[in-house]
Amino acid sequence: MRTAVVTGAGSGIGRACALGLLADGWTVVLVGRRKDPLEETAALAPAADRERVLALPADITDERAVDELFAAVTDRFGRLDLLFNNAADTMPYLPTEDVGLADWHRVMDSIATGTFLCSRAAFRVMKRQTPRGGRIINNGAPSAQVPRPDSVAFTAAKHAVAGLTRSLSLDGRRHGIACGQIDIGNVTPHDRPQPEVLQADGSRRAEPTMDMRHVVDMVRAMAALPPAVNVQSVLVMPSAMPYVGRG
């Protein structure tokens, strides 16, 4: 039995990837702050697969909650093979001088601190289990490499994730723990029109998008690799999306 933990599993990328992993035979632990969206994700699984999916609400910015979460996973399933660090809070685009400290902390905590706390807990489990090791996949963003205008908190947080990914990859090497990052471009919204986004030249326009299945396919491919093989970093995006030069 292969066990995966997916954070931010109550909607969007986390929900889609959790269901994709479930289809590949993984036992999947759904993590998020609210129980109802997690149970909605679980209900989307085929009836035959629902015994392999478990919803465990937790605040990944809370150290004690994270430690209790991973203790519950190992108590229930005996091991942890995959962690997908996907959860993130965002905020409206704002000029740097207008960003409030509370919003800065909220975005940084949900993305950078949450990724650190969950990865630290995963390391503790993966180092002591038999067979030893596992895999961590971090959800980055194109902003982990190239910023958008007026996104200082999100950009800084995703750059922190990129640094965490590299450090975890290095530190995990001797323990059989692989760590890679997937940077995800614009995904087609299912419940609203694609919004216009501020460009580097000051204009606004709706950008090209891609279907969620391309993201899911990439995460599934990364998860399926043996621990001795790693995708260190991959960017999945619509070919025509502004990225190089950001317009």
Mean pLDDT of the region 210-227: 97
Mean pLDDT of the region 95-117: 98
- Look up the pTM and report it: 0.96
State the amino acid at position 109 in one-letter form.
D
pLDDT of 247 higher than 60: no
State the amino acid at position 104 in one-letter form.
W
DSSP state for residue 138 in the 8-state scheme: E
pLDDT: which is higher, 136 or 243: 136
Residue 246 confidence (pLDDT): 60
Q: How far apart are CA 220 and CA 21, in angstroms?
A: 6
DSSP state for residue 187 in the 8-state scheme: B
Q: How far apart are CA 243 and CA 173, in angstroms?
A: 31
Mean pLDDT of the region 44-56: 96
**pLDDT tens digits, 129-171:** 999 999 999 999 999 999 999 999 999 999 999 999 999 999 9
The beta-strand segments (E) located in 8-133 are 27-32, 53-57, 82-85
CATH numeric code, 3-246: 3.40.50.720
Average pLDDT, the chain: 95
Q: Which residues pair with 30 in a beta bridge?
A: 6, 55
Q: Reduced to 3 states, what is the DSSP secondary structure of residue 239?
A: coil
**Lowest mean pLDDT, pick from 98-102, 103-107, 200-204:** 200-204
User: What share of the chain in percent tops pLDDT 90?
Assistant: 88
Mean pLDDT of the region 228-235: 97
**pLDDT tens digits, 80-104:** 999 999 999 999 999 999 999 999 9
In order, the DSSP letters of 103-115 are HHHHHHIIIIIHH
pLDDT of 19 higher than 80: yes
Residue 26 confidence (pLDDT): 98
